Amino acid sequence: MTAASDQPLPVVPTPDAADEPNRELKAIAAKDYEWGFVTDIESETIPPGLDEDTVRFISAKKGEPEWLLQWRLEALARWRTMTEPTWAFVKYPPIDYQAIRYYAAPKSAADKPKSLDEVDPELLATYEKLGIPLKEQALLAGVAVDAVFDSVSVATTFKDKLASMGIIFCSFSEAVREHPELVKRYLGSVVPTSDNYFAALNSAVFSDGSFVYVPKGVRCPMELSTYFRINAADTGQFERTLIVADEGAYVSYLEGCTAPKRDVNQLHAAVVELVALDGAEIKYSTVQNWYPGDKDGKGGIYNFVTKRGACRGHKSKISWTQVETGSAITWKYPSCILQGDDSVGEFYSVALTNNHQQADTGTKMIHIGRNTRSTIVSKGISAGRSQNTYRGLVRMLPGAVGARNYSQCDSLLIGDRCGAHTFPYIDVRHPSARVEHEASTSKIGEDQIFYLQQRGLATEDAVNMIVNGFCKEVFRELPMEFAVEAQKLLGISLEGTVG
Amino acid sequence: MLEIQGLSARVGEKPILEGLDLVVPTGEVHAVMGPNGSGKSTLAKVLAGHPSVEVTAGTVRYLGQDLLELDPEERAREGVFLAFQYPIEIPGVSNSTLLREGLNAVRAHRGEKPLDAMDFLKLARAHAAKLGMDPTMLGRSVNEGFSGGEKKRNEVLQMLVLEPRLAVLDETDSGLDIDALKVVASGVNALRSPERAFLVITHYQRLLDHIVPDVVHVLAGGRIVRTGDRSLALELEEKGYGWLDTTAGAAR
């Protein structure tokens, strides 16, 4: 992602940019799933299975206070009363939750490295392969990386600089130790333990994740970035992220994912909570590239994620941008609760599915406060035999005087064996609220491809160019280096879809 | 440069071209005129390699190569350019992106280095100015929301940037007012050279007042039925295409 310092400028098709997408894409399109290597580090794991003892083990392992253990146990109790949701337009064999291993940590993490020098060299080599700029590259790129390897954070950079501004950016475990009052105040306040099946599961067994707090009036000077990576086989990954922007604060957070190649399905059930107080703004960008399974639909990640932001304060703003190219199954609806008057919610999404991938993704915009505004731009691209669903809810509650929403959902089909589906739910309970919804479905045209070929472009480059053009409104919301990554991923994911 | 012999082609089950012969030597401008449905656009599509047209017989030699063996993008890189009758819209892809990618694909094929962003922009802006196009056109999505005239100008802009060896203009004059017609013609004339050839497909004679052809061919019923100099175009203007059907045999 951010190792892009030596690469050309971003390749979003803009008039004057030094853009050269296809040369780069072409080289990459020839590659297989590039990040499918496995690091040999002995994991400290517990046997598969989930009961109260599992939860107690995880909590004890992390040295958590009693209140958090109780919170987890409550979540577990809730989860046991719930049933797995079946409304999403996805199909998968039943998951045996007792066959999953709920904790794994690289052994070297027990030593709690204080600096990069103390980190397992093999781990660092893995990061190198992934192109994570932990050292000087990071400095040049202006990105602080809180790298999560399996379940334990091993290194956090730029802490000092951020700390001098009062910004907290650390692993979730560390936040529990160092800032328990903040964690206690906000954890579960946006996504309660009882919210849904996967959120309850996550609440019971989450291992680690990231925590960000930006104090009053502070603009975080750099993009905060975290890499998530599943490594140990059969280990569910249960990340917990909590970001709080205090009054007038601003933060941009980047989440990027690459996972090693695996033959067995892996469950990923993360929870992300965002809280924006008066006048605060949070921008949350994701490029998701979990292993999607092979061409026959074997393997791949089940990505069942709950992401939600609360615009608690007056004039607060939360913006989600996601580029979803990976995972065998994606079940994900980054949402905004627009509670504060004049608050703003945004959702920009590109979801690309190929081969046998299934995605059911979208957003919820819950308008509570007066004059709240939301924008939804969703671009779904289906190729191969994949199924791609947009599912969105816009709800204007009785107090949402003068609230407005604009939704645009476009689907692009490549080939004739894939599916695109749109399920918009609209619920308006105040007469002054306005909701606009536009939707389109198009097939990538033979004439479009021919036109570009006639100008000298190879078929695959032509397809990439058309798809990137289709996604432009979303890509321009991404930070620059992420836009580069996103276009590369589309190129890789589209390989072999035409011609 | 271009030698077509006994070319037959169909679209779906329908035969369109039936034994067409046509030779365009390097350095010349040839016009192909003919009534609607005579196969003019199909001829253009065959030359560019459009997948909807199936060649059933005949040969097409271009600079000594078998043109029909080449993929559409290979033909483009070898210098075959088609100005489309109905230019295609590509939402979200800027004109400059397409132009630059196309130009650099052609340059790479010739073993030349890609143009960097600054040099490219300078070049593209200069050509756009020649065609009376606002430079902001370069930043707009390819043909999206363009008027008919803007689309045609845009085709000529692409031609000027790509500098083809053989340019096929498929009814580039249709939908243009006289001022736009002159601008488009001046763009074509600027590119005329002893190294290039043009095949100008048109229904009307008026374009040929501005792009003066060396040779005029009349296409009817899937074949070239008459070949002559510029006066043939004027004759057609006067008499229409109706008289051709009865004299078709005489041309062969």
Give yes or no for a contact between A488 and A28, defined as CB atoms under 8 angstroms apart: yes
Task: Please list, in sequence order, all residues whose beta carbon lies within 8 angstroms of the beta carbon of residue B113, skipping any fewer than 6 positions away.
Answer: B107
Can you read off the two tokens belonging to residue A313? 């304060």
Residues of B within 8 A of A473 (CB-CB) are 92
Could you say which of B49, B51, B90 has the minimum Cβ distance to residue A466? B90
Distance from CA of A167 to the nearest CA of B (A): 38
**Range scoring the smallest mean pLDDT among A28-32, A398-402, A459-463, B221-225:** A28-32
What is the spatial distance between Cα B188 and Cα B201, in angstroms, rounded to a whole number?
13
Give yes or no for a contact between A238 and A344, defined as CB atoms under 8 angstroms apart: no
In this prediction, residue A26 has a pLDDT band, given cuts at 50, 70 and 90, of very low
In this prediction, residue A117 has a pLDDT band, given cuts at 50, 70 and 90, of low
Distance from CA of A467 to the nearest CA of B (A): 9
Can you read off the two tokens belonging to residue A326? 């990976």
What is the spatial distance between Cα B220 and Cα B214, in angstroms, rounded to a whole number?
20
Q: Which of A392, A402, A332, A333 is nearest to A367 (CA)?
A: A402
Interchain CB contact of B85 with A (< 8 Å): no
What value does the mean pLDDT take over residues A196-201?
Answer: 95
What is the spatial distance between Cα A384 and Cα A96, in angstroms, rounded to a whole number?
29
pLDDT digits (tens, 9 = 90+) for B24-39: 999 999 999 988 889 9
Residues of B within 8 A of A450 (CB-CB) are 48, 50-51, 72, 88
Residue B24: the pLDDT is 96
pLDDT digits (tens, 9 = 90+) for A287-330: 887 778 888 878 888 889 999 999 999 999 999 999 988 888 99
Interchain CB contact of B71 with A (< 8 Å): yes
Residue A310: the pLDDT is 97
* Residue A3 DSSP class: G
Q: Which of B47, B50, B73 to mutate to test the interface with A (most CBs of A within 10 A)?
A: B73
- Looking at this predicted complex, what is its ipTM? 0.94
In this prediction, residue A16 has a pLDDT band, given cuts at 50, 70 and 90, of very low
* Burial letters B135-161, b for 16+ CB under 10 A, else e: eebbbbbbbbebeebbbbbbbbbbbbb
Q: E-assigned strands of A290-343?
A: 301-311, 317-324, 329-332, 335-338
Amino acid (1-letter code) at residue B45: K
Question: Is A18 close to B104, i.e. CB distance below 8 A?
Answer: no
The sign of the dihedral angle between the CA atoms of B152, B158, B160, B162 is: negative
Question: Is B91 close to A470, i.e. CB distance below 8 A?
Answer: yes
What is the spatial distance between Cα B55 and Cα A406, in angstroms, rounded to a whole number?
49
